[in-house]
Chains A and B, each alone.
Chain A
Amino acid sequence: MSAQTDRSATSGRQSADAAEGMTVVARTQAEIIRRRFFRHRAAMAGLVTLLFVIVLAYSSIGVGPIPGWWDKTYMSTASVLDGGRPTLSLVPGFLGGDGIRLGEHPFGQDNVGIDYFALVMRGTQQSLTVAFLIGFVSTVIGATVGATSGYFRGRTEAVLMRFTDVMIAIPVLVFAAILAAAAGRAGIVALGVAIGAVTWTGLARLVRGEFLSLREKEFVEAARAAGTRSTRIIFKHIMPNTVGVIIVSATLAIAAGILLETALSYLDLGVRAPDVSLGSLISRYETAMQTRPWLFWWPGVFIVAIALSVNFIGDGLRDAFDPRQTRVRD
């Protein structure tokens, strides 16, 4: 701030003051949003659950060369103990249970004795990675396409929106399956990018709608009249006002992403053997439902836990960003 005031040019002073005013408003606004978000109980529960799952998945079996605290790997086989039943116990001793403990194989073992906890953790890592990639890629594409077509209008808009219509004509799962069929072989990063490349259409439409209305507002007109470059107007002036829509969408894209990836992996079109994802685990052990039901349950529980927490976080964010939200007590 002091550097700004030292400048003698009045115009510099004015814009600095204006900027100051803006940040003050923005800060209080951000504070209000943050407060609303942290008061949202479901969102908080979701956030805690999600963080727990992330920390558990990465710390237990480690990442790449870094080892985790769990002593078994997801590939090595061992002798099958107690028919592979899970040893995890959550009922404390004084309630008549076995006490709270993980045991030798908390999630049990499969038929060749692989530790299922390690395997599910690996699947969770892969599924989380792909889900976040999908969220990131689809948000970037969707926001860019939406912003460009909403801001420039005319031919640019027509071309982009027709293109979006073509994308929408293909059911998302079908489109994702087709791209994943090729990309899945190339590893999980390619898979995430490929799925993200087909799931951005909803966000593009939302952002375009916001841009269409915002570009007519005075502050944009003023910036344009002052000869500000288009990219600057888009990123500095309009984009900050659509941030709520984009963040909420990104969250929901992650939730949709994990469901889509696991579905594709279940169909053997996503993450391929020998690597695993939560979806391919279910597909692999589907037939063991009768004999070893835990092999079917664990990955499903993790998918639901992740998707549900992310959805709740998204709901909390939406409530926090939506200014119309005034809850009335009965």
Chain B
Amino acid sequence: MTIPSNPSAQPQPGIQPGPSEAALAATPDVAAATGGARVASGIAAAKPPSREEVLKVENLTVGFPTDDGLVKAVRGVSYTVHEREVLGIVGESGSGKSVSSMAIMGLLPKNARISGTIRYRGEDILKMSKKAQRSLRGRRIGMIFQDPMTALNPVYTIGDQLAEAVLSHETVSRKQALARAEEMLALVGIPQPKQRLRAYPHEFSGGMRQRAMIAMAVINNPDVIIADEPTTALDVTVQAQILETLLDVKDQVNSAIILITHDLGVVAGTVHRVLVMYAGRPVELGETDEVFYRPRMPYTAGLLGSIPALDTASGEKLRPIKGTPPSLITLPPGCPFAPRCPLVTDICDDEEPELASTDGLEHWAACHHWTRLAEAEDPTKFFRAESEVRR
């Protein structure tokens, strides 16, 4: 692997070319399966996404039985991730983003009720044996969690925790695994990676730990990286760096990313397509530009209105959406967004809208009145009206 473009990564004299090649040749079967498209070599320039589907989630539903009733955390989520694509999933806290991605990883608690299909290269993960699921985890699909302060085991060294990820999937010596770990630390921009292998997590700063987490997620050259709010818990000053590192590493290992966030600002300019979730449902899906400039679901419009304006800079005061999401135990029959929606009509209270295609190409939305947004000049204005009156 070539020295990463990240300027903070120092070339290490200690790195031998041998292990690097071993590291890269580690997943030949995948390369074969995809017609050689994924031969990871020293190509520095990232390849664009292809139409090849790596991950296909269909009608995923997750519920948790509790003393108070069934928590319907995810209700019929479908999306596809293509090779080398970055898919963003946005939505308020509690909208089911983490639960749906944990379902892919098979990390939900035992009592979770899961239905639907999750296909990895055509094969349904939910129907696989435990063993097959495990060999997918961390090897084909890697995951990065929100809080790097708690996501690393405090009692083992960084090197140990990285090497372990290699050793659990491949028959290599510990030395080789450690060499790969060192290489990965260099790749994510950690200076003096060889020494850092022996450090414990508490000796790392938050940003460095998150870099180590990224290294851990990609150490087996996965096809998909699920990044669940990878920057939320970090200092604002390092958030951008970490995001950049993540995208950079993705290009190096040629994997796709599912980037989960509740920050639309992060999504802009980083992801190819966006899925917006609300109350466990997908409510809008489309190319990033489509969704950003032509939202077809009032919730998305509201989210856009609640972030510091993008291009539509106007001196107006931006307002968050009023109200709170509905309870996931006793959901009302109609559109879950109805109580907070400025466009609400009677039909919204009676019938839950399906995710359906709209005027844009491959642009889907779940709203009875998406045409009204299409007619409006500035879709976010519905949320701004009130504040204007106030002023």
Contacts and interface: CB of A to CB of B under 8 A. Distances in A.
Interface of A: 326-330
A327 B65 CA distance: 10
User: Which label, helix, strand, loop or mixed, suits the secondary structure of the B interface?
Assistant: loop
B: interface residue count bin: under 10
A328 B65 CA distance: 7
A330 B111 contact: yes
B66 A330 contact: no
Nearest to B68: A326
Contacts of B67: 326-327, 329
B198 to A, nearest CB: 35
Which 8 residue pairs spanning A and B have beta carbons closest together?
A: A329-B65, A330-B111, A328-B111, A327-B67, A328-B66, A329-B67, A329-B66, A329-B111
Interface in B17-69: 64-67
B110 interface: yes
B7 interface: no
B277 to A, nearest CB: 23
B13 interface: no
B315 interface: no
A330 B113 CA distance: 10
Contacts of A328: 64-66, 109, 111
Contacts, number: 14
Nearest to B64: A328
Interface in B72-115: 109-111
Contacts of B110: 330
5 contacts: A326-B67, A328-B65, A328-B66, A328-B109, A330-B110
Contacts of B64: 328
Given A329-B66, A329-B67, A329-B111, 11 more contacts: A326-B66, A326-B67, A327-B67, A328-B64, A328-B65, A328-B66, A328-B109, A328-B111, A329-B65, A330-B110, A330-B111
Contacts of B66: 326, 328-329
Contacts of A329: 65-67, 111
Nearest to B65: A329
A329 B67 CA distance: 7
Nearest to A39: B67
B57 to A, nearest CB: 25
Nearest to A326: B66
A330 B67 CA distance: 10
B65 to A, nearest CB: 5
A155 to B, nearest CB: 32
B294 to A, nearest CB: 42
A330 B66 CA distance: 9
A40 to B, nearest CB: 13
Nearest to A329: B65
Contacts of B65: 328-329
Contacts of A327: 67
Contacts of A326: 66-67
A330 B65 CA distance: 7
A329 B110 CA distance: 10
A327 to B, nearest CB: 6
A327 B64 CA distance: 12
Contacts of A330: 110-111
A319 to B, nearest CB: 12
Nearest to B70: A329
